Structure 1
Amino acid sequence: MSLRRTLVVLRHGRTAWNDAGRAQGHADIELDELGHAQASAAATELALLAPTRIWCSDLSRARQTAAPLAGATGLVPEVVPALREYDVGKRTGMTFDEFAAAFPDEYAAWLAGDESLTVPGAETTSDVRARIVPAMRACLDALGAGETGIVVTHGAALRVGVAGLLAWPDEIDETLAGMDNCGWLRLREHTRFGHLQLASYNQCAAT
């Protein structure tokens, strides 16, 4: 395989809730001033990769992160709701301290990695894996030989998706450090065998 496909996975820029340490989940929070600057800086660097497709979650923070990239490349981002962040249910908008105070048992289970007890309305990792891995796989499969595509998504969900694409055991996604806002990673096909490799992780543009 000489013409490798590359999938770049980009976390959205910062929001006020990121800055305050509040769980966003499916809440439709927009980028803050720094988040817009991060998105613009990332777009300048990522446009140099000459992507042929851009996909993004339907949440505002992902769409706003994709917008400068669209401007830099002339591509129209394709909106994919399955690329959303975890739905954190009743925990939405809470800091860790507020989560611990409001749902002490669920908080303890979360710290222990036990998803048999979750906050009402929250997705489990299995739920997220079932939607985001096929969505990211479809993005990769849509690329032609030698092409690069960019997926704009969310911090916790992207780790699950990447681990799934790399065929890692379910628990291994927790070994990946959290991505910075507007950090990106690159998945590329192995030159000889075609399987995906994690080529870089948490690259960031200067802002």
Structure 2
Amino acid sequence: MKIYLIRHGQTDWNIQGRIQGSHDIPLNEAGRRQAEQLAKGMDSRLVTRIFSSTLARAMETAQRIGSRQKVEICPMPQLIEVEFGKWEGMTWEEIMEAYPNEYRMWALNPDEVAPPGGETQEQVIKRCAEALKEIIRITGGREDIAMVSHGATIAYLVSYMMHNDPEVESMIVENASITTVNYSPLTEDYMLLEMNDTSHMLEE
């Protein structure tokens, strides 16, 4: 079973460097073009279903793929972006200035420390693991599927699949990128095949 982990296209907050988290920010014009290019890039990666975060930027990206491949979109709230609480809408520079102690504690131990009003890494991984379990139950672990989600969520999810590999934990997930993981229903193991592929993107 191949699992294609896909990040949504670009938004205005991406350009501004603002933390989006659970805020429902739509794709911008460039993001919609990226979603189209991504959908074409998925032509060689046919799937039976697409599971998507319920946030608009992810759903719109998923819909471009689903429309092209004529497959069902399955909304999954467990795949939304990490909730960053009071930090949402801010840049990292603004966060470090306004919340220096909280930021320092979170950066040192994101597993157990959450941004004010947000989620810990452990909480995010727990809900993503539940989503994976449900997807494997639905597909029997024998269908190739796509999961459309968000940068931090995908990084945490791949880290979970790879048993906290430090190289994976530091991965930067680009807009409209594809990360491919193979799942074996026999061993229940995951194997990372390709990380953060953006070769389908055309030069702007």
TM-score for both structures, normalised by structure 2: 0.89
Establish whether residue 133 from structure 1 lines up as the match of residue 129 from structure 2. Answer: yes
Per-residue deviation at 1:80? 0.3
Letter in 1 for 2:52: C
Per the alignment, residue 93 of structure 2 pairs with 97
Gaps in structure 2 of 5+ consecutive residues: none
Instruction: Trace 1:54-65 onto structure 2 (pairs within 5 A).
Output: 54-65=50-61
Per-residue deviation at 1:87? 0.4
Per the alignment, residue 103 of structure 2 pairs with 107
Q: 1:30 aligns with which of 21, 26, 31?
A: 26
Per-residue deviation at 1:160? 1.5
1:132-179: per-residue Cα shift (whole Å, max 9, x none)? 11202322343356531000001111122222233x04x747634111
TM-score for both structures, normalised by structure 1: 0.88
Q: 1:198 aligns with which of 164, 189, 192?
A: 192
What SS does the corresponding residue of 2:193 show, helix, strand or coil?
strand
State the Cα RMSD in Å.
2.2
CA contact (8 A) 1:185 1:203 kept: yes
CA contact (8 A) 2:156 2:169 kept: no
Could you tell me how far apart the structure 1 residues matched to 2:185 and 2:127 are? 28
Per the alignment, do residues 173 and 134 of structure 1 end up closer, same or farther by CA in structure 2, a change over 3 Å counting? farther
Number of positions where the alignment pairs a residue of Structure 1 with one of Structure 2: 201
Establish whether residue 75 from structure 1 lines up as the match of residue 85 from structure 2. Answer: no
Percent identity, please.
29
1:91-142: per-residue Cα shift (whole Å, max 9, x none)? 0100011111221111222333356554321100011111011202322343
Letter in 1 for 2:30: L
Per the alignment, residue 173 of structure 2 pairs with 179
Letter in 1 for 2:75: V
Letter in 1 for 2:189: H
Q: 2:144 aligns with which of 123, 145, 148?
A: 148
Per-residue deviation at 1:51? 0.7
Bigger shift: residues 97-106 or 189-198: 189-198
Per the alignment, residue 43 of structure 1 pairs with 39
Letter in 2 for 1:179: V
Runs of 4+ in 1 over 4 A off after TM superposition: 114-117, 190-194
